[in-house]
């Protein structure tokens, strides 16, 4: 049996995210999730599902969702949300850089507000690429480094402490470049600012879109 490469246990962050994440839904995050998932079909793998806030937004064409979540409290909450949502979700333990799935076994992957937090972004994206079939898509909704050099400097400064408070989250990652670097072709991307609460200012710049595995 291979040794798991990453361990994710953030009990304080998990309790905080359960409240803060739910509160953001009413401030626009729910609409972002619905937009990210619109039109998706087939078998889907969701990486770092958190408390399962995406589950209610999967469209009817999605036949199966494997939701991978390594943090124990978040996984428990996601399992409860899976039952409430009625979506065809199975919640499992696992990490992004070692996904519990065969090569090319999914029609699509979903990453929302998670590529900021994985320890090794390139390794996580390589895994997502591996498990999505050729021609399949990655749907993403992530906060990212700002296009403005000044704001990006502020984000890099924030990243001295931000990961310690946010369960490993980084404010200044260039996630769109990383998605392309992993081999995906970005087909649609929308950039926007989203600040659901005052402390979220360093992570205001967001991207939402579709990338395809060629
Ligand atoms: C800010 S939360 C977002 C949760 C959820 N995706 C959402 O949209 O609400 C970040 C998530 O990334 C997960 N995470 C952190 N490191 C991870 C890793 N190496 N593999 C998979 N998930 C990870 C955390 O456990 C947490 O669920």
Check residue 12 and give its pLDDT: 81
Q: Is the pTM of this model over 0.85?
A: yes
pLDDT category at 191 given cuts 50, 70, 90 is: very high
- Residue 6: pLDDT over 80: no
Alpha helices in 49-195 (DSSP H): 72-85, 121-131, 149-158, 162-165, 175-181
The model's pLDDT over 72-102, given as tens digits with 9 standing for 90+, comes to: 999 999 999 999 999 999 999 999 999 999 9
What is the CA(213)–ligand 1 centre distance, in A? Answer: 22
117 contacts: CB under 8 Å, gap ≥ 6: 48, 166, 167, 168, 169, 170
> Which DSSP symbol is given to 188?
E
Q: Report d(CA 132, CA 137) in Å as an integer.
A: 7
Of the chain, the end-to-end C-alpha distance in Å amounts to: 31
What is the CA(77)–ligand 1 centre distance, in A? Answer: 13
Q: What residues flank ligand 1, with Cβ below 6 Å?
A: 6, 8, 17, 21, 47-50, 53-54, 69-71, 74, 95-97, 112-114, 117-119, 167-168
Check residue 8 and give its pLDDT: 73
Average pLDDT, rounded, for the chain: 94
- Residue 149: pLDDT over 70: yes
What is the CA(57)–ligand 1 centre distance, in A? Answer: 18
Which H or E run contains 34? helix 30-37
168 contacts: CB under 8 Å, gap ≥ 6: 8, 10, 117, 118, 119
Q: Report d(CA 7, CA 94) in Å as an integer.
A: 9
Strand, helix or coil for residue 120 = coil
Q: Could you tell me if 114 and 141 are in contact, meaning their C-beta atoms sit under 8 angstroms apart?
A: no
The model's pLDDT over 35-56, given as tens digits with 9 standing for 90+, comes to: 999 999 999 999 999 999 999 9
């Amino acid at each position: 049996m291979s040794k798991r490469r990453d361990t994710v246990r953030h009990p304080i962050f998990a309790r905080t995210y359960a409240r803060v994440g739910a509160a953001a839904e009413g401030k626009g995050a729910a609409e972002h999730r619905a937009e990210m998932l619109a039109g998706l079909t087939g078998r889907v793998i969701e990486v770092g599902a958190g408390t399962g806030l995406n589950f209610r937004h999967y469209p009817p064409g999605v036949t199966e969702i494997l939701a991978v979540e390594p943090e124990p409290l978040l996984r428990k909450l996601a399992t409860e949300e899976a039952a409430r949502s009625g979506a065809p979700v199975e919640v499992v333990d696992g990490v992004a850089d070692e996904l519990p799935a065969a090569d090319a076994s999914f029609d699509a992957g979903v990453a929302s507000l998670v590529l900021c937090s994985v320890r090794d972004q390139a390794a996580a994206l390589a895994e997502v690429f591996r498990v999505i079939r050729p021609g399949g898509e990655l749907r993403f909704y992530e906060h990212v480094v700002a296009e403005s050099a000044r704001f990006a400097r502020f984000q890099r400064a924030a990243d001295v402490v931000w990961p310690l408070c946010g369960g490993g989250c980084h404010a200044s990652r260039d996630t769109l470049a990383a998605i392309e670097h992993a081999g995906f072709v970005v087909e649609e991307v929308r950039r926007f600012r989203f600040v659901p609460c005052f402390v979220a200012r360093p992570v205001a710049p967001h991207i939402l879109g579709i990338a395809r595995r060629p």
